[in-house]
Structure 1
């Protein structure tokens, strides 16, 4: 498939093309098929982990187009629903990865909806209500979906960490942890082992079906932050579309804290 955007804008100009032509359908009639492909993948990965009284959403900062690095600092994790543009009192975090333009449009749409709710009702939208609203936003675009993987995080009514993951057309569920983006297939098995304790059993508890599963407990914040860094350190070793920097946002009852850590740049 021909590229929609020229890879050499200096020599050829922007060269935006809506005329992507395939081979003639037959030698006799010479007709050609024309199509428009608006999507691309700008790489990167995100993950989210819910704790007892906090939630952490994180993403790398690399933006790519094929083998090219567009920028080494393109955040994929955002504060949502603050009372002004500084988002100093935001109560939600959204991570989006995939096509950067769609990701940004989705983030702005949800932020507008949550801000409007705050203005109309005089209080912040709950993470459960925001999760349902984001599902509706995605479903409304089901015939031309946002090409992005979204994860929403916050604190529920009991003050416990809540993480909601989505497919492109709005199906969602609350989870303990979830990874998305280019390196999701590398990170998610690590999270299944270290956060969900999948296929882990108590030593000496039996044989075969008599094995006792390891008790599943919520991890502390320090442990989770280390796991997030370890997950991305591993991903950058195996995936060229992930790297440069790691931006983590931690939401607690005291607000949202941003943490930046460097990753490999090669």
Structure 2
């Protein structure tokens, strides 16, 4: 077993029309033994930038603390929040700096940039970025997530919860169904899901119930 699979994880980020969603599973395991069912893998850097960290749980928490520290320094110096592209470059630089003894994690970064244009990317443990215009995935469930997202994704999905038509939460529904169906095919992740849907005006956080076996 790879050390990246030791704790199990499933992460996915998906873009919509001037919005994005990022979701993760909630299981923390030691190989096939479940330790916790409410583990946090998605972190808010500020209201328009989120990062999900898949991989070894201890390394993900250490890396998150370093990123918060660096972002606060940036806020003090620049008197503004980081753009998602800038934050992705920061994460990449921090990971590459430790390339000879890397943090054993795969980040998924999602944010809203200029003109509320959604930005998503993922990278490997030494900071090689992979940009996408539709969705990115990471973790032990990434193979089944690719298949589910390929089947379900469509461009310009909306996610405005105050618009009570049938398509009002289309992006939330799509990412949730992709996550739940994928973790059911991976024994190292699961036990529900954690979803953030981010628009220019609000952040919606929801917990999904999934199979508990």
Q: Kindly indicate whether residue 168 of structure 2 is the aligned counterpart of residue 233 of structure 1.
A: no
**Root mean square deviation of aligned Cα:** 1.9
Query: What whole-Å deviation, never above 9, does each CA across 1:100-139 have from its counterpart, x for those lacking one?
Result: 0111111111121111111121111111111111110111
Which stretch shows the higher mean deviation, 239-248 or 66-75? Answer: 239-248
Q: What is the rounded CA distance, in whole Å, between the counterparts of 2:3 and 2:148 in structure 1?
A: 33
2:85 maps to 128
Higher relative contact order (CA 8 A, sep 6+): 2
Query: Do the aligned partners of residues 191 and 100 (structure 1) sit closer, same or farther apart at CA in structure 2, a change above 3 Å counting?
Result: same
Query: What whole-Å deviation, never above 9, does each CA across 1:191-249 have from its counterpart, x for those lacking one?
Result: 123226xxxxxxxxxxxxxxxxxxxx322222221122211221232222222221111
Q: What is the rounded CA distance, in whole Å, between the counterparts of 1:172 and 1:182 in structure 2?
A: 19
User: So what's the TM-score if we normalise by structure 1?
Assistant: 0.72
| Residue among 22, 25, 31 paired with 1:57 | 22
Instruction: Please say if residues 51 and 160 of structure 1, whose CA atoms lie closer than 8 Å, have aligned partners that are also in contact.
Output: no
Instruction: Please say if residues 43 and 98 of structure 1, whose CA atoms lie closer than 8 Å, have aligned partners that are also in contact.
Output: yes
Query: Which has the greater radius of gyration?
Result: 1
Q: Kindly indicate whether residue 4 of structure 2 is the aligned counterpart of residue 70 of structure 1.
A: no
Q: CA deviation at 1:39?
A: 7.2
1:261 maps to 208
Q: CA deviation at 1:93?
A: 0.3
Q: What is the rounded CA distance, in whole Å, between the counterparts of 2:4 and 2:151 in structure 1?
A: 33
Q: Kindly indicate whether residue 139 of structure 2 is the aligned counterpart of residue 192 of structure 1.
A: no
Query: Do the aligned partners of residues 59 and 40 (structure 1) sit closer, same or farther apart at CA in structure 2, a change above 3 Å counting?
Result: closer
1:111 maps to 68
Instruction: Please say if residues 37 and 191 of structure 2, whose CA atoms lie closer than 8 Å, have aligned partners that are also in contact.
Output: yes
Q: What is the rounded CA distance, in whole Å, between the counterparts of 2:12 and 2:84 in structure 1?
A: 17
Q: What is the rounded CA distance, in whole Å, between the counterparts of 1:241 and 1:73 in structure 2?
A: 14
Structure 1 residue ranges without an equivalent (≥5): 2-36, 82-89, 197-216
More helix by share: 2
Structure 2 residue ranges without an equivalent (≥5): 160-168
Instruction: Please say if residues 78 and 95 of structure 1, whose CA atoms lie closer than 8 Å, have aligned partners that are also in contact.
Output: yes
2:59 maps to 102
Q: What is the rounded CA distance, in whole Å, between the counterparts of 2:143 and 2:22 in structure 1?
A: 17
Query: Do the aligned partners of residues 39 and 261 (structure 1) sit closer, same or farther apart at CA in structure 2, a change above 3 Å counting?
Result: closer
SS at match of 1:260: strand
User: So what's the TM-score if we normalise by structure 2?
Assistant: 0.88
1:219 maps to 157
Q: What is the rounded CA distance, in whole Å, between the counterparts of 2:65 and 2:14 in structure 1?
A: 23
Instruction: Please say if residues 236 and 264 of structure 1, whose CA atoms lie closer than 8 Å, have aligned partners that are also in contact.
Output: no
Q: Kindly indicate whether residue 76 of structure 2 is the aligned counterpart of residue 138 of structure 1.
A: no
